[in-house]
């Protein structure tokens, strides 16, 4: 509560500042960051980020946050796809149903609701590492109450009561049941919305797929512009890579790693080759996967040998050497499983 009071005070400050000087790009961005981070309001945040780069087209932070927001909007649709199943992307789209669903997703803040329940699941997993069973139940219910305040849809769907019942039912015998309960809650919530709005699931599937792809394409374009604005910033690749993995966008993941390798040719690229190999494995291209796993092994071996030959190594270098040994051992076993058709 204290944290959110500070967040609200900061939001008010930026609102008042922007009322005086509406074209201050860093304040537009900072207000957006608060809405994105603490309120899961990716859509309103996106408007602020877009305004910041409209004011200053070379404003890297605003452009990167545009990319993050588009990716988060796609992530919400990806969560819905997992509930109702994928679709044939070539299927015809009913324009009336499309308009109806976009309204639900945006105006009724369905994207925010699924982002909050996803964060709740992540929080539970983190709580499980740090609290005993007796403490865990209290932490989960308290967190549910805090998150509930951020979404009218959650409030109207008795989110806290449902999660409290799950805690009482599963906390001692099977904490995983609490997480399963979140998935069931999302399913029930979506079923209610479909029934309430008289929408056909079959008509929804291609719409969700299409809308998700639009957000992914916008995210890619914004990431590309961010790379152009800050060519040497490796962290941008890491952020983009995270979203590609979360969204199971393996061709996107491959292109990110290829761009990194091309941009930084003088570095060891073992990690990038392994990521490309994993992407091809998920795309069912076993030969390509093995090719890039081998490239990863060669790169790791080269890096390892360079470290091994150093007369003196720092603690960081020693840790890296140990990590490379473990990675090479794991890769050897993993490659063999791929060759044997076990993976």
Which whole number is the average pLDDT over 83-111? Answer: 86
Helix axes 176-196, 60-84, angle to 10 degrees: 90
Phi, psi of 56 (to 5 degrees): -135, 95
pLDDT at 343: 82
CB 109 within 8 A of CB 152: yes
Q: Say what the pTM is.
A: 0.92
Give residue-wise pLDDT tens across range 228-261: 999 999 999 999 999 999 999 999 999 999 999 9
Which whole number is the average pLDDT over 327-343? Answer: 90
Provide the mean pLDDT of the chain: 93
Q: The tokens of 245 are what?
A: 């993995």
Q: Write out the DSSP string of 124-167.
A: HHHHHHHS-HHHHHHHHHHHHHHHHTT-HHHHHTTHHHHHHHHH
């Amino acid at each position: 509560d204290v944290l959110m009071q500070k967040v609200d005070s900061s939001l008010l400050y930026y609102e008042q500042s922007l009322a005086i000087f509406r074209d201050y790009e860093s304040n537009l961005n900072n207000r957006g960051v608060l809405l994105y981070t603490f309120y899961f309001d990716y859509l309103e945040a996106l408007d602020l980020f877009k305004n910041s780069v409209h004011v200053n087209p070379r404003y890297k932070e605003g452009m990167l946050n545009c990319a993050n927001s588009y990716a988060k909007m796609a992530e919400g649709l990806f969560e819905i796809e997992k509930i109702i199943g994928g679709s044939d992307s070539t299927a015809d789209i009913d324009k009336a149903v499309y308009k109806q669903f976009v309204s639900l997703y945006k105006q009724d803040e369905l994207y925010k609701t699924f982002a909050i329940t996803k964060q709740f699941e992540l929080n539970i997993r983190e709580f499980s590492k740090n609290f005993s069973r007796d403490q865990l139940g209290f932490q989960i219910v308290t967190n549910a109450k805090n998150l509930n305040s951020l979404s009218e849809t959650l409030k109207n769907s008795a989110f806290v009561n449902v999660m409290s019942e799950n805690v009482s039912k599963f906390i001692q015998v099977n904490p995983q049941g609490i997480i399963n309960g979140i998935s069931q809650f999302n399913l029930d919530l979506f079923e209610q919305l479909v029934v309430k709005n008289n929408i056909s699931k079959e008509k929804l599937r291609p719409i969700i797929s299409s809308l998700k792809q639009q957000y992914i394409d916008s995210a890619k374009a914004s990431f590309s512009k961010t790379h152009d604005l800050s060519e040497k910033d490796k962290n941008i690749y890491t952020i983009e890579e995270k979203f590609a993995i979360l969204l199971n966008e393996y061709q996107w993941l491959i292109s990110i790693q290829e761009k990194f390798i091309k941009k930084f040719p003088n570095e060891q690229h073992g990690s990038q080759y392994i990521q490309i190999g994993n992407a091809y494995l998920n795309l069912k291209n076993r030969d390509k996967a093995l090719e890039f796993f081998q490239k990863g092994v060669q790169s790791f071996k080269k890096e390892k040998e360079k470290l091994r030959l150093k007369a003196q190594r720092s603690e960081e270098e020693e840790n890296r050497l140990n990590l490379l040994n473990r990675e090479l051992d794991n890769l050897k076993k993993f490659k063999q499983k791929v060759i044997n058709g076990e993976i």
